[in-house]
């Protein structure tokens, strides 16, 4: 359905040199940059705001980079417009908080971005089943969101398989993304379970040979 795609997570970059860290993406011939937005409410950590995304967007070397913005916010509907205006190409929002998910997914598209719905490890696939025909991507978290460098949860593989099955049965073509502890050992498990889009923070930024890492993911 979709060729394997690597989305390096800026969270694992140098936060005092975010521009240079983000430019690692085009420097390796990659297209997606995963940007983690945290509000200290939905998750116990803080990261970047829309001004940071806008400043990255203005860098000439990132002109063609696809900004995959992962909103870990209690009230994502209040911020989608700001992150779209900042230059996001895609905005993904969690299913767990209480807000109008369908309306917000629609709003993201009306703002000219791709949309996506995200599930925490404890959230079953059934929680997003009714939204599958309205999304460009489903993100299955393979760690509890909030921090990079945590261990991958193999127990999420059946959830990926279920979403992949529904995708095929219903003739849908959303991307199936994984995020958290994804490396060259855990990524193939996700790929076998149906994932096609791989966020990697620590494993990519700390890789001795990032080019080889990117080439390996592309070969899955």
Give the annotated binding-site residues. 9, 34, 36, 70, 146-149, 179-181
Catalytic residue ranges: 36, 179
x-or-dash string of contact with Zn ion, 68-97, rule CB under 5 A: --x---------------------------
Give the annotated binding-site residues for substrate. 9, 70, 146-149, 179-181
For position 175 contacting Zn ion by CB under 5 A, the verdict is: no
CB of 166 or CB of 182, closer to ligand DX5: 182
Interatomic CA distance for residues 146 and 38, integer angstroms? 7
Q: How far is the CB of 36 from ligand DX5 (least distance, A)?
A: 5
Residue facing ligand DX5 at closest CB distance: 201
CB of 11 or CB of 217, closer to ligand DX5: 11
Instruction: Find the binding residues for Zn ion in span 54-73 (CB under 5 A).
Output: 70
- Residues making contact with ligand DX5 (CB under 6 A): 9, 11-12, 34, 36, 70, 143, 145-146, 148-150, 179-182, 199-203
């Amino acid at each position: 359905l979709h060729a394997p795609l690597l989305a390096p997570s800026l969270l694992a970059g140098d936060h005092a040199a975010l521009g240079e860290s983000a430019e690692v993406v085009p420097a390796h011939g990659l297209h997606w940059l995963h940007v983690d937005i945290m509000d200290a409410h939905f998750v116990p950590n803080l990261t970047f705001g829309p001004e940071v995304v806008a400043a990255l967007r203005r860098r000439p070397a990132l002109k063609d980079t696809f900004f995959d913005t992962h909103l870990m916010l209690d009230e994502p509907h209040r911020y989608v417009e700001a992150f779209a205006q900042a230059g996001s190409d895609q905005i993904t929002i969690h299913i767990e908080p209480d807000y109008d998910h369908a309306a917000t997914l629609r709003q993201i598209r009306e703002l000219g971005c791709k949309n996506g719905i995200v599930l925490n490890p404890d959230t079953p696939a059934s929680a997003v089943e009714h939204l599958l025909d309205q999304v460009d991507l489903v993100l299955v978290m393979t760690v509890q969101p909030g921090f990079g460098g945590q261990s991958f949860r193999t127990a999420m593989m059946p959830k990926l398989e279920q979403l992949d099955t529904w995708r095929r049965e219903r003739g849908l073509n959303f991307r199936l993304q994984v995020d958290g502890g994804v490396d060259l050992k855990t990524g193939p498990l996700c790929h076998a379970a149906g994932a096609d889009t791989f966020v990697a923070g620590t494993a990519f930024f700390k890789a001795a040979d990032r080019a080889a890492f990117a080439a390996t993911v592309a070969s899955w």
